[in-house]
Amino acid sequence: MMMENSNTVIENGQFNLAIFLKQNFLILLGFLVLLIPTIINLVNSIWKSDDQAHGPIILAIVIWLFWQVKDKIAKINTTPNPILGFMFVISALFIYILGRSQSILIFEIGAFIPLTCGLLLVSKGWRALSIAWFAIVFMLFLIPLPGSIVDALTGALKGQVSHIAEVLLYSAGYPVARSGVLITIGHYQLLVADACSGMHSMFSLLAVGSLYVYITNHSSKIRNTLLILSIIPIAFAANIIRVMTLILVTYHFGDAAGQGFIHDFAGMALFAIALIGMFTLDKILGVFLKERGE
């Protein structure tokens, strides 16, 4: 995407990868020198955990998103902005060095966002950023949230999920009580663990939902905005269903059933339920907004 001569990179209206690689070999080499060690570090660390297992998928989507807009960027003939671009690049390098040397993943991974912006500005200017904006924003999903923020949000979500699940089950006539995040039903006690807070599910669904809205590209901005805003409450509701299901399975079939295959399957079911909920809402909004002439 860092082309200097779009007339040679684009041949017969098609992007010529060989010419692009030849013209930008040094830039791409420098980018890979920074990127490859970071990817190796991620593969050997947080990408091994269940919470961050979506990382490689997010990276693949980012690459695909940039690939989708390569032709548009290559055809840009506007004046580049080298001064501001180099300021972005230099700032990104300082952030990367700090993150890499101090093992701060937020800085190490986050540095690639201003670095990408800087390279686009140097080569093609603001027009390139306006074309690749979603791919750049989507890179944010590669950055792991700080532990303190995750702990605070996880604790709050666990409390709310436990409370709502207790209220709904009690209203349905089940002998259920709660103390914090410890739920007692019959003679069973279940602890709502961090994984059951739905925090990481919300993060993953936010990425998938954002990608869905971008790909569908509805003409109605109201429809797109409502879909984005609905992702978190839909994921929260799906997680409540998941926790209630595990509680009921434990109550009716025993602790072994609640902690076995069904427990693991409930995590996948949560994701499926949330996606179905978002797709259903999209269809409803389509009918409603169409009737109102949107």
Active site residue 223: no
Q: How far, in Å, CA of 256 to CA of 187, rounded?
A: 14
Neighbours of 211 (CB within 10 A): 17
Q: How far, in Å, CA of 157 to CA of 146, rounded?
A: 16
Judged on CB neighbours under 10 Å (0-12, 13-18, 19+), 165 is buried
Q: How far, in Å, CA of 206 to CA of 232, rounded?
A: 7
Q: How far, in Å, CA of 155 to CA of 149, rounded?
A: 10
Residue 36 corresponds to which amino acid?
I
Neighbours of 197 (CB within 10 A): 25
The answer to whether the CB of 243 falls within 8 A of the CB of 196 is yes
Structure tokens at 294: 């949107």
Maximum Cα interatomic distance, the chain, rounded to a whole number of Å = 74
Active site residue 242: yes
By three-state DSSP, how is residue 175 classified? coil
- Please list the residues that pair with 183 across neighbouring strands: 178, 190
Written in H, E and C, the secondary structure of 56-111 is HHHHHHHHHHHHHCHHHHHCCCCCCCHHHHHHHHHHHHHHHHHHHHHCCHHHHHHC
Q: Which of 117, 127, 196, 223 is catalytic?
A: 196
Structure tokens at 43: 């593969």
C-alpha gyration radius of the chain: 23
Residues marked as catalytic: 196, 242
